[in-house]
Each structure stands twice: as structure tokens, then as C-alpha cells.
Amino acid sequence: MTAYVIGQITIKDPARWEEYRRQVPDTLEPWGAELVLRGTQARVLSGQHPHTDTVVIRFPSMEVVVRWHDSAAYQALVPLRMQAAEVDLISYEADS
């Protein structure tokens, strides 16, 4: 079943964030993952949302999501991510 990772992001250090963003795609490739969306918030239509940016990544399965997230390649980027931005990563399984 297809799975997605959605990242809700508030950038703290734009230069470090760009460095992180440049490196993430290489960590996705071995897992058959696809970067679906990188976007900046235009408007909150309902409720409250503190983050300014969003990323959506599609994976072949939830098992692959976990393996990617726990991989040495991605974990090596986590300290840079933490310096660069506040990021909430949430995984979802698609119903269809």
C-alpha cells in the first residue's frame, strides 16, 4: 500500500535549509520514493497552522518509509535538519 511522508516546516536558517534540501533527494532514490510537492504556505483556509512550508513524499509502502527514515543516509542529515528548521514529519498510508 502506498505511503506518504508529509513534513510541516518552519525554516530557522535558510542557508542550512537549502543545504539540507539539496541532499534529501539522494536519500530517497534507493527506496523508490518520489518527491511530490515542496511548497510555501499561501493561506490557512481554516483553523491554525504555524508552519510556513510543506513537503510531500510518496513511498511504495509504510515499511519503506520506516527503512528510509532509519537509514544511515537520512539519519546523517537529521542534525542539519534540526539546525535549519522546525520540522514535523508525519507518515500516512493511502486508502486508494
Residue 14: domain span: 3-93
Torsion on CA atoms 21, 49, 37, 17, rounded to nearest 10: -10
Check residue 41 and give its pLDDT: 80
Rounded distance between C-alpha atoms, residue 57 and residue 37, angstroms: 7
Q: Which residue, 6, 5, 61, is CA-closest to 32?
A: 61
Reading phi first (left if > 0) and then psi (alpha if -120 to 50, else beta), residue 19 is in: alpha
The domain total for the chain is: 1
Q: Which residue, 19, 17, 23, 22, is CA-closest to 84?
A: 17
Spell out the per-residue pLDDT of the chain, length 96, in tens.
999 999 999 999 999 999 999 999 999 999 999 999 999 987 899 999 999 999 999 999 999 999 999 999 999 999 999 999 999 999 999 986
CATH number at residue 82: 3.30.70.100
